[in-house]
């Protein structure tokens, strides 16, 4: 019989089942978890309930450091995402940074509309800035759905560039050869993760022409 209660009502009971499952596969699971974390990946994704980070890449607790916000944005003065990046790279030494957008992103959709959305305006401005940078390409796409999908991809690309603009990425990569920044899109219709194949080293080289924080000169 199907349980008709809400997820919220079932959550604590579900948690007990989850503990039992984890212990059944590895009796020391929580002992290891308590010893600390050394995630390999920093995932920066959308808060959308369908794009669930660990679950869609088959990751276990302890493997992915996660930051999610509306439309996976990395703003130049956003202490939240910048602190996550600083900590994940400078202290946890992640080897990969993934910016993951998703098709049918409500944040990207909202940014495409000429509408005052209150406190969301300054946040959506980051995405409208992406549209402005790529206006020629986007305006040339007559199909609205296709244009929406392309903006999702371009937003991922520009947020990857914003990650590359940070001193911690530039300095750590030049010193150690990691982390590498990747751009992905999650297709909610198929479940597929699509690698946009961002040429990280080329982007880094290009970014350092203007935003070089890597090597202190002199």
By CB under 5 A, tell whether 153 contacts Co ion. Answer: no
- To the query of whether residue 48 is one of the catalytic residues in this protein, the response is yes
**Catalytic, out of 67, 105, 149, 160:** 105
Residue closer to Co ion, measured from CB, 69 or 170:
69
The CB-of-187 to Co ion minimum distance in angstroms stands at: 13
- To the query of whether residue 91 is one of the catalytic residues in this protein, the response is no
In this chain, which stretch among 5-13, 32-40, 41-49, 184-192 interacts with Co ion, using CB under 5 A?
41-49
In this chain, which stretch among 80-88, 107-115, 152-160, 162-170 interacts with Co ion, using CB under 5 A?
107-115
In this chain, which stretch among 12-20, 38-46, 125-133, 176-184 interacts with Co ion, using CB under 5 A?
38-46
By CB under 5 A, tell whether 124 contacts Co ion. Answer: no
- To the query of whether residue 68 is one of the catalytic residues in this protein, the response is no
- Select the residue interacting with Co ion from 42, 46, 185, 204 (CB under 5 A): 46
**Catalytic, out of 48, 100, 149, 182:** 48
- To the query of whether residue 100 is one of the catalytic residues in this protein, the response is no
Residue closer to Co ion, measured from CB, 89 or 105:
105
Residue closer to Co ion, measured from CB, 85 or 110:
110
Whether residue 63 contacts residue 36, with contact meaning beta carbons closer than 8 Å, is answered with no
Residues whose CB falls within 8 Å of the CB of residue 200, separated by 6 or more in sequence, listed in order: 160, 164, 180, 181, 182
* 64 beta partners: 41
One DSSP character per residue, the chain reads ----S-HHHHHHHHHHHHHHHHHHH-TTHHHHHHT----SEEEEEE--TT--TTGGGTPPTTSEEEEEETT----TT-HHHHHHHHHHHHTS--SEEEEEEETT-HHHHHHTS----TTHHHHHHHHHHHHHHTHHHHHT---HHHHHHHHHHHHHHHHHHHHHTSHHHHHHHHHHS-PEEEEEEE-TTT--EEE----HHHHHHHHHHHH--SS---
The CB-of-71 to Co ion minimum distance in angstroms stands at: 5
By CB under 5 A, tell whether 48 contacts Co ion. Answer: yes
**Catalytic, out of 46, 67, 160, 182:** 46
The CB-of-179 to Co ion minimum distance in angstroms stands at: 23
The footprint of Co ion (CB under 5 A) covers 46, 48, 105, 107
């Amino acid at each position: 019989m199907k349980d008709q209660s809400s997820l919220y009502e079932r959550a604590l009971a579900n948690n007990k089942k989850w503990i039992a499952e984890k212990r059944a596969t590895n009796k020391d699971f929580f002992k290891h978890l308590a010893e600390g974390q050394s995630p390999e990946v920093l995932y920066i994704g959308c808060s959308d309930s369908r794009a669930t980070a660990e679950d869609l890449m088959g990751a276990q607790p302890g493997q992915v450091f996660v930051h999610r916000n509306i439309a996976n944005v990395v703003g130049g003065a956003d202490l939240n995402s910048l602190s996550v990046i600083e900590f994940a790279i400078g202290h946890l030494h992640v080897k990969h940074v993934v910016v993951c957008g998703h098709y049918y992103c409500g944040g990207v959709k909202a940014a495409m509309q000429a509408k005052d959305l209150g406190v969301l305006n300054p946040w959506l401005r980051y995405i409208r800035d992406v549209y402005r940078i790529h206006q020629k390409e986007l305006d040339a796409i007559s199909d609205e759905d296709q244009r929406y999908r392309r903006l999702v991809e371009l937003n991922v690309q520009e947020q990857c560039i914003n990650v590359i603009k940070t001193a911690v990425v530039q300095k750590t990569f030049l010193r150690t050869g990691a982390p590498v920044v990747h751009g992905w899109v999650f297709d909610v219709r198929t479940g597929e993760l699509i690698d946009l194949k961002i040429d990280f080293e080329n982007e880094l080289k290009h970014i350092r022409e203007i935003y070089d924080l890597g090597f202190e000169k002199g």
